[in-house]
Amino acid sequence: MAKMLSGVRFLIHQRRGLISLAAVACILRGLAAGGAADEITTSQPPPATFRTILTVKDTEARLTEQSASPIGQMADNSLATVFVDPSKQFQTIEGFGGAFTEAAAVTWQKLGPTNQQAVINAYFDATTGHGYTLCRTHINSCDFSESNYAYDEVAGDTELKHFSIARDQKALLPMIQAALATSKTPFKLFASPWSPPAWMKTNGEMNHGGRLKPEYRQAWADYFVRYLQEYKEEGVNLWGLTTQNEPEANTGWDTCQYTPAEQRDFIRDYLGPTLKRAQLEKIKVMAWDHNRDDIVEYADVIYADPVASRYIWGTAYHWYSDGAFQNMAAHHDAWPEKPLLLTEACQDGGPHIGDWGVGEHYATAIINDLNRWSVGWLDWNLVLDEGGGPNHANNFCSAPIIADTKHDKLLFQSSYYYLGHFARFIRPGARRILCSSSQSKLEATACVNPEGTVAVVVLNRNQEAIKFNLKSRKAATQVTLPAHAIATYLLPATGL
């Protein structure tokens, strides 16, 4: 009997004490009945287990780890199935993250020191937060700035004698530097321009579209290089650039329009060679940076030019307008050597405080994008105020963390938790693996991390709980995903 109780104590202490009380009760009942429980001894390894991290609407479950569960061997053919095969591997993941904007930075500065650090930890601490590894910022102003601004506003200054990043040094750079100080693995940062200085444009202003004047193409390419150099002086080394944010947009905020041929020619004849002359050719240049809808047509023009194509690492895109996920697969079919990266997503139309649907919108988009070859996924503003700003064009949006600046409080939104199910458990260098769902009401994707852990993310946006098989070629376990919930299942790749 002492030998049997020793086995019980052994099991209770496995997996940091995560064995369920029901399992313990079952063992004790076996002991009382003189059953087969005497076979469980400290000399036998416990059955393989997997971890479950859960977020559920109308509960307190927010990225909450559940009790470890044993990996089963038998499928229930009456249930839906999510199937994974780690031996079938696809794109390598660069990372997940969000954007440093002036709006995010000035909002962050309005918080007290404790909550300032709490925001940074929530995103960049890999132990207690998301551990973001890929982020974005803006060159010159964007709509999420307090006003239009450029680093050189002196008309005709093609030598950039008046170039200054003093505006960014007030709020934007301090926030980036605070994040770098917290991030144990420095995140990759890339930058996007919304508009050149007004004097370089055909319409003479930073807003309402307009185009880059041909005579300023070289000055604009030099401007990119100067930006990279000035940021490096501040201890911020950029990983990449997009050529232009939303090149088809003509809105009431910072914009500049390019045809596919114009963007191709600017990269081929000016930006690419200028980066090379400055010994910055390792900077990852991305084309497009607009929605999925026209991505294939735009890329077809740019990548048809072999010289332009050599300067371009891959294609950036946004999630707005029609989903058009099929275009991601078409892009990969045509240019498999060019990575795809989702560089901006947010719920527009205000802060949407407490709206659970925003998180579900994020998750379904991330799953669809990863399954169609995206190598990463970036949210828009890291933090905004209670009004969804500031924004100089009143284009207010939601953010995963909303700051109540009047009361120095942080309001974590559903999107924060849903993003965490991917960012925390699918790490840089992970490979997407074969993953399928037998029913459309279960949305799923899966990756194997460099250390061998398989992360399977399953989303249930329905009104009822769904029981299903979590299955591989060698294992099958029945799990239940509550209504309006998302789960990340972490399994060892060996044995699957």
Catalogue the active-site residues: 246, 344
Q: What angle do CA 59, 381, 418 make, to 5 degrees?
A: 25
> CB-based contacts of 281: which residues, under 8 Å, 6+ apart?
275
Distance from C-alpha of 49 to C-alpha of 23, rounded to nearest angstrom: 13
Q: Going by DSSP bridges, is the β-strand pair 134-139/188-193 parallel, antiparallel, or unpaired? A: parallel
Distance from C-alpha of 412 to C-alpha of 180, rounded to nearest angstrom: 22
Q: Going by DSSP bridges, is the β-strand pair 466-471/80-92 parallel, antiparallel, or unpaired? A: parallel
CA nearest 191: which of 149, 146, 141, 154? 141
Residue the block writes with tokens 């579209």: 209
Strands of 409-412's sheet in order across: 383-385, 401-404, 409-412
444 and 458 Cβ atoms separated by less than 8 Å: yes
Judge residue 347's burial from the number of C-beta atoms within 10 Å of its C-beta, 0-12 exposed, 13-18 middle, 19 or more buried.
Answer: buried
Q: Classify residue 111 as left (phi > 0), alpha (psi -120 to 50) or beta.
A: beta
Over its C-alpha atoms, the chain yields an Rg (Å, rounded) of 25
Q: Running DSSP on this structure, what letter comes out for residue 263?
A: H
Q: What angle do CA 230, 233, 237 make, to 5 degrees?
A: 85
Q: What angle do CA 292, 297, 299 make, to 5 degrees?
A: 85
Residue the block writes with tokens 């994020």: 362
> What are the structure tokens assigned to 105, written together?
């930075």
Local structure of 455: helix, strand or coil: strand
> What are the structure tokens assigned to 496, written together?
């699957």
Distance from C-alpha of 171 to C-alpha of 318, rounded to nearest angstrom: 26
- Locate the DSSP E strands across 185-326: 188-193, 240-242, 284-291, 314-318
Q: Where is 8: in which H helix or E strand?
A: helix 2-12
Identity of the residue numbered 186 = P
